[in-house]
Structures are given as structure tokens and as C-alpha cells.
Amino acid sequence: MDILLIPALLIILMVFTWRPLRSVFRFIVLVTSVVPGRTLSIVNALTPKVAVEVASYTTGNGDEVPMRIWHPRSSGPAPAIILYQGASPAGENHEILNRLAQGLAKVGFKVFIPRLPRLKEVLIREETVERIIEIFLQVHKRQDILSDRITTIGFSFGGSLMVKACLDPRMNGLPAKVLSYGSYFDLEKTLKFVLTGECSHGGYSYSFDPHEWGSIVFFHNYLENIDGDFNSKAIHSYFLTLVKEDEKADENYAALSEEDRSFIDLITKDREKSLETALTVLSKLRSTVESLSPRYFTANINFPLYLVHGTEDNMIPFTETVAFSETLEEQGAEVHTFISGLYSHDEAGSGERGFVGRIDELWRLGRFMNNFIFR
């Protein structure tokens, strides 16, 4: 992000709103946390440092699972924010989540980033919904947080699973705010999109270059539902080296059997055959896929929901959030939506909007975040 953007935003904020200096500080810290660049290091140098703790939470099975906690400088109970990861091997160590957590801690929140084991394995499973509930209830019992001011934010595939978790009777009415970022509405449509890059909504069609992880995510999740002469365990292991961007990925590929390599080449390089195989798998798993799709439980959503998506997202298309938002509006539910041209799936996009366009987008983003977090 150009270093001139922050001074420009500061001037706009002062001229048009005359807000107190504290609001200006919060605005700058939050915007630089979600749109990094040269300004981020400057803001970090000029703002108080906050501490991060390596902790854990306990699952219903008694397992201890890692969790990072970012602490604000203030003493006494603090409002809390739980950041639920997407499908990523980085888990609680994800750079972008920790950058956001650090910014939120600097403006007074205690921020929790728990590992969701299945999503860390890049697997979209029902059991993650239970983990999300367990984490929330354990945070809710803590004495160092304000139990009536717990905000939940879910990312990517984790965001949709978080929305389902919030419908569980054990969480009814407990989250103060709920935001889903870059998440899906219809899992079946999203799984097709990761293979084709094609999506549509409202009579308009869109075409993207599918994310390089797309086919890997799909077949890693549903490999056991495909008939073939290949070693599932070996292929799962290879897929994980790819999403981890492991330097040994090429070496691991070479060590696979000829049958395994042929299958991988088929599903990652032959888009037509890959889609054909995927459609066969989806026809077998429709009920499972539907059970994880917000499309099929929107009627039960009885809490205000905030939705954010980047128009450049080539893993989960922004049309998923548009469809989600429109469905909730038609049902009379409270929904607040922000579609941004600044983002791809998990990072700032190409930003081909010019200086004035980026200022306008950052201004709208800052206002949306301020309303969500502090209103």
C-alpha cells in the first residue's frame, strides 16, 4: 500500500468527521492491519507493543489444541474477538490472522486464534462446527474477558462453518457480533468453481483463473469417494506438501508410483476430466455437502450477520456472499455486506483502481470495520 494513503485518509477523516484523536488512531491501526504495505511497519513502530501468548484449548475428547492469544495493554477484563481460521496448514500461525489480531489488540481487544485441526489439514468437515462451539464456550467462561462482548470472525471455509456453529442452542444469543469473510453460501457451487473458475449471479456470468489450490482442495477432501487404482494416503500427503508450499513437493511427486502420478496429473491438468470426476463425487455426497451449506439453513439465522468478500477472490467467488446477503435480506434478517475491490482470497488484490479509487475503498472499508467492531 502506498505510504501516502494513510496521511490522505487521516486528512479526510479529520475534515469530514472531526472525530476525536482516539477514533483516528483506531481507524489507522485497523486499516493498516488488513491492507498491509510500507505503512504497516511505520504504524507498528509508532504504536504500543502488545503481547502474544501461546496457549491451548481443550476439545470434548480431552485433547489440548494450540491457540494464540493477543493481549491488549489495558488491565482488567477486555472485549474479546475470536478469529476462526480458513482451510490452511498455517493454522493459528497464519500471518494475516496474526497481523489482524495484533491490530485489534492495539485498539483494546483480547484476540484468540485457535487452531481448527481439520481445517489445518485442509479438510472441510462437520466436526469443525463442534470445535468452533467448544472454543467459544471456553472463551466465554474466562475471567479476563467481558463475556457479553465476544465477537466471532470466520474466514473462508471456516467462516461458513462458524455461521452454522452460531445456530447451535449452546451459542444462542452469546456472540455479540458475527462476521464471515470470503466464505461460501452454497458449498456445491463453490466446489465446482474451484475447478472451473466459472460463476454467475443475477443474470451475470464471471470467469476467473481458478486458484492453484482449487483442484487440490476438492480432491484432497473427497479422494476416498473416487474409484481408482491409486494410493490415497500417498496422494493426501503430496497434496499437503503442495498447499504448505514445501520445497520437497517435486521430490515427493517423483517418489510416487506411476499410477499415483497419472491420477494427480489427470485431476490437476485436465480440467474437463477433473470436473467430470468431481460431478460424480458430488452426486454421491449431496446430503453431506448441503449440511455444510448456509444456503440450506439461512431461515434459522436470527442474529445480525456481517459479510465481507473480495471481488478478486478466485477460491470462493464474491457471488457467494452476494447470494448469501440477498437471501437474508429477502427473509427480513439483519445483514451488513461489504464487497471490496481491494482483496483476493486472503490478501490484498492487484488494486488497479488508482490512488483516488483506493482511498475511497479504504475509507469505506474503515467505516464498515468501525461500525462492526465499535458500534
Residue 113 phi/psi, 5° resolution?
Answer: -120, 95
212, pLDDT greater than 90? no
* Cell numbers placing 320: 457467494
Hey, is 301 helix, strand or coil?
A: coil
Q: Look-up: residue for cell 475491490? A: 341
User: With bands split at pLDDT 50, 70 and 90, how would you rate the model's confidence at 211?
Assistant: confident
Tens-digit pLDDT profile for residues 345-370: 555 554 555 666 667 777 787 778 87
pLDDT for res 248: 83
pLDDT for res 83: 97
Q: Is the dihedral of CA 315, 318, 324, 327 positive or negative?
A: negative
User: Cα(95)–Cα(114) distance, rounded to whole angstroms?
Assistant: 14
User: Cα(90)–Cα(322) distance, rounded to whole angstroms?
Assistant: 28
Least confident among 80-89, 200-209, 238-247, 310-319: 238-247
- The mean predicted confidence, pLDDT, of the chain is 86
The CATH homologous superfamily for domain 51-181 is Alpha/Beta hydrolase fold, catalytic domain (3.40.50.1820)
User: With bands split at pLDDT 50, 70 and 90, how would you rate the model's confidence at 266?
Assistant: confident
pLDDT for res 72: 94
Extents of the domains making up the chain: 51-181, 188-290
How large is the average pLDDT for residues 236-257?
88
Q: Which residue type sits at 356?
A: V
- With CA atoms as reference, report the closest residue to 49 among 4, 101, 126, 102: 102
pLDDT for res 363: 74
User: With bands split at pLDDT 50, 70 and 90, how would you rate the model's confidence at 35?
Assistant: low
Give the CA-trace dihedral at 169, 171, 174, 177, to 10 degrees: -120
> 109 with 78: CB under 8 angstroms?
yes
Residue 334 phi/psi, 5° resolution?
Answer: -85, 120
User: Cα(375)–Cα(372) distance, rounded to whole angstroms?
Assistant: 6
Other CB atoms within 10 A of residue 337 CB: 17
User: Helix 214-222 to helix 232-243 angle, to the nearest 10 degrees?
Assistant: 150
Those residues whose C-beta lies under 8 Å from the C-beta of residue 331, and which sit 6 or more positions away, are 298, 299, 301
Class of residue 268 by CB neighbours under 10 A (exposed 0-12, middle 13-18, buried 19+):
middle
User: Cα(243)–Cα(202) distance, rounded to whole angstroms?
Assistant: 33
> 253 with 261: CB under 8 angstroms?
yes
User: With bands split at pLDDT 50, 70 and 90, how would you rate the model's confidence at 11?
Assistant: very low
User: Cα(205)–Cα(200) distance, rounded to whole angstroms?
Assistant: 4
267, pLDDT greater than 60? yes
Q: H-type helices in 225-314, by residue range? A: 232-243, 249-255, 258-269, 271-284, 286-291
13 or 317, greater pLDDT: 317
User: With bands split at pLDDT 50, 70 and 90, how would you rate the model's confidence at 65?
Assistant: very high
Longest CA pairwise span in the chain (Å): 68
353 or 137, greater pLDDT: 137
> Strand 145-155 and strand 177-181: pairing?
parallel
Strand order through the sheet with 110-114:
51-58, 64-71, 110-114, 78-84, 145-155, 177-181, 305-310, 335-340
How large is the average pLDDT for residues 208-235?
90
* Cell numbers placing 370: 468501525
Q: Which residue type sits at 269?
A: K
Least confident among 162-166, 322-326, 356-360: 356-360
Least confident among 44-58, 109-123, 320-334: 44-58
Element (H, E) at 368: helix 354-374
pLDDT for res 6: 47
DSSP state of 210: P
- Tell me the sheet residues that pair with 67: 55, 114
User: Cα(293)–Cα(138) distance, rounded to whole angstroms?
Assistant: 26
In percent, the amount of the chain with pLDDT more than 70 equals 83
Question: Where do the DSSP E strands lie in the chain?
Answer: 51-58, 64-71, 78-84, 110-114, 145-155, 177-181, 198-201, 204-207, 305-310, 335-340
